[in-house]
Amino acid sequence: MVYSMTGYGKGNLVLHGKDITVEVKSVNHRYFEYSSRMSRFFAFLDDKIKKEIQGMIARGKVEVSLMVRAVESSETKIEPDVLLAKSYYDALQTLSESLGLPNNADVLAISRMDGVLTQVKNEEDAETLWNDVNTVLHMAMEEFLAMRKAEGEKLCADVLARLETVENIVAEIEKSAPARVDAYREKLYAKLQAILADRQIDDARVLTEAAIFADKAAIDEETTRLHSHISQYRKILASDEPQGRKLDFLTQELNRETNTIGSKSNDLAITNMVVEIKSEIEKIREQIQNIE
């Protein structure tokens, strides 16, 4: 089963008084790359989320967004520093007595002084929070993987169709290849007749030259390897394991064998067919860049 590296998934649940939302999205990348956006209060979950996702996918540039909002009680509370407040008051009282001015300080004024009131995050069960976040994460990943699978099926269908096209063109090249030797022999006869005029043509020499040409222009090995590579391609596409890198290597091999056929051919029809194959291979290359 082929999976695309492009995907998106979202999960949302209210668990233990918290509204938890997780979004996961990814694009193609040579390796697994992870980034996240979340409040600093939940940064301790980041590594757990990364490991969880990495256990489900092999490649792709993944971005995760985590949002947690309390729906039953505030996640934070305000705590006063009474000793600090008393120090402020005592300092103001001393200043009042020294200057002979009234001390107009009240509780509200002192509470606004630096450090008197502090925002503190409520203590919570970290394990429970992780379990809840993980539940929502898996909900998002289910949608994320479903999209990757759907996109992968489209990619696979397109690549298989193009492989079939390549295979058909290779078969046409194989059919036309023997005729090239006959054409070369006839062309050689005609050229010798023009040069030698009434003199007798050495048939053995012509046959030898034709045999040398046939050996130099032979493409049997290249076409056989192309068929083998296409067969391997299909097996890999049917595999359940991530195989994007193997497909990338095989695509290079398809291109290499095709280039060799093109370099050996001095036949216009075969040259045109080689151009068609290279065009299909380039389109295959574009598609597999997004295969995990």
**What percentage of the chain carries pLDDT values higher than 70?**
82
Q: Report yes or no on 278 lying in a domain.
A: yes
Q: Report yes or no on 270 lying in a domain.
A: yes
Cβ atoms of residues 184 and 213 within 8 Å: yes
For residue 13, give its domain range.
Answer: 7-71+125-148
**pLDDT(188) > 60:** no
Q: Report yes or no on 61 lying in a domain.
A: yes
**pLDDT(201) > 70:** no
Q: Report yes or no on 273 lying in a domain.
A: yes
Q: Report yes or no on 209 lying in a domain.
A: yes
Domain count, the chain: 3
Of the candidates 50, 13, 22, 45, the one whose C-alpha atom is nearest the C-alpha of residue 124 is 45
Is 283 or 271 the better-scoring residue by pLDDT? Answer: 283
> Both 16 and 140 in a single domain?
yes
> Both 244 and 254 in a single domain?
yes
> Both 106 and 161 in a single domain?
no
Q: Report yes or no on 154 lying in a domain.
A: yes
> Both 183 and 225 in a single domain?
yes
Q: Report yes or no on 66 lying in a domain.
A: yes
> Both 175 and 271 in a single domain?
yes
**What percentage of the chain carries pLDDT values higher than 90?**
52
Q: Report yes or no on 268 lying in a domain.
A: yes
Q: What is the pLDDT of residue 269?
A: 83
> Both 249 and 215 in a single domain?
yes
Helical residues (DSSP H) of the chain, grouped into ranges: 46-54, 82-99, 107-111, 126-196, 203-216, 220-237, 244-264, 268-288
